[in-house]
Amino acid sequence: MRWIFCILWLLTFSLHAQERGAPYVHHLELGVLQGSDDFGTRINPSIKSLHGVQFHPNHSFGFLLGLDVYPLAAIVPFGMGWRGTLHPEKKTTWMAGMDLGYGSMVLEKKMVTEWNQHTWFEGGLMAHPTVGIRKKNKGKTAWSFLFGYKHQSANYYMGLPVVGVVNPTPNPSNPSDWSSLRTDRIRYRNLTFSVGLLFL
């Protein structure tokens, strides 16, 4: 349920986008992430919202925030995004995008078992190039249909603190805090497809 609140929060931005004049632009995308893991092929939902400036008829640039729901964890990607349109004056034209940033694990709680075993996630770098088409609607809106590749890094930690350590969050980079510590590096490699709504 917690990720539903993030989706609703992102959707509220679109209510104000049409009231804004140039150079403000808003791009809201709903999509799927297709990849594979130890259990086979997976398909996961994704939502992303970019708020930026149309600094050139062919280019916009801004800040993005989203939510990717994977089987083991929900990742909140944020960073900077670029959108480029080949012929913005046409009703249907080619479009491309590039997002770079960080995937946060802010929605994932740290777990401590009755045996004092600590497990938690930490986020990592994110990169997401896309290409597709943009189709104008009546008014100052347009649809986007984009294919891409998304790379998301993350880490999963499992460890037992040294007896007597009172810090509720022992430092993963300090070996003296731990009697044992295991780090699993996770790499989500996804083919993506999204349907988006642009508010120009």
Q: For the chain, give the mean pLDDT.
A: 87
Q: Can you give the pLDDT at residue 166?
A: 58
Over residues 63-67, the mean pLDDT reads 96
Taking residues 112-138, report their average pLDDT.
Answer: 93
pLDDT at 6 (0 to 100): 54
Looking at per-residue confidence, does 65 or 170 come out higher?
65
Mean pLDDT of 56-68: 95
Q: Checking phi first, is residue 116 left (phi over 0); if not, alpha (psi -120 to 50) or beta?
A: left
The Cα-based distances of 111 to 120, 138, 168, 179 in angstroms read 6, 50, 11, 17
Give pLDDT, residue 17: 45
In whole angstroms, what is the distance from residue 49 CA to residue 149 CA?
A: 17
The 3-class secondary structure across the chain, one letter per residue, is: CHHHHHHHHHHHHHHHHCCCCCCEEEEEEEEEEEEEECCEEEEEEEEEEEEEEEEECCEEEEEEEEEEECCCCEEEEEEEEEEEECCCCCCEEEEEEEEEEEEECCCCCCEECCCCCEEEEEEEEEEEEEEEEEEECCCCEEEEEEEEEEEEEEEEEEEEECCCCCCCCCCCCCHHHEEEEEEEEEEEEEEEEEEEEEEC
pLDDT tens for each residue of 137-160? 988 899 999 999 999 999 999 988
Among 82, 84, 50, residue whose Cα is nearest residue 196: 50
Are the C-beta atoms of residues 77 and 70 closer than 8 Å to each other? no
Give the whole-number percent of the chain exceeding pLDDT 70. 86
CA pair distance 76, 1, nearest whole angstrom: 15
pLDDT value, residue 128: 98
Would you state the pLDDT for residue 9?
54
CA atoms within 13 A of residue 157's CA, in its CB half-sphere: 23
Q: Name the residue with higher pLDDT: 200 or 4.
A: 200
pLDDT digits (tens, 9 = 90+) for 85-113: 999 999 999 999 999 999 999 999 989 88
Q: Which tens digit of pLDDT belongs to each residue from 11-55? A: 555 445 445 555 889 999 999 999 998 888 999 999 999 999 998
Question: For residue 18, what pLDDT is reported?
Answer: 46
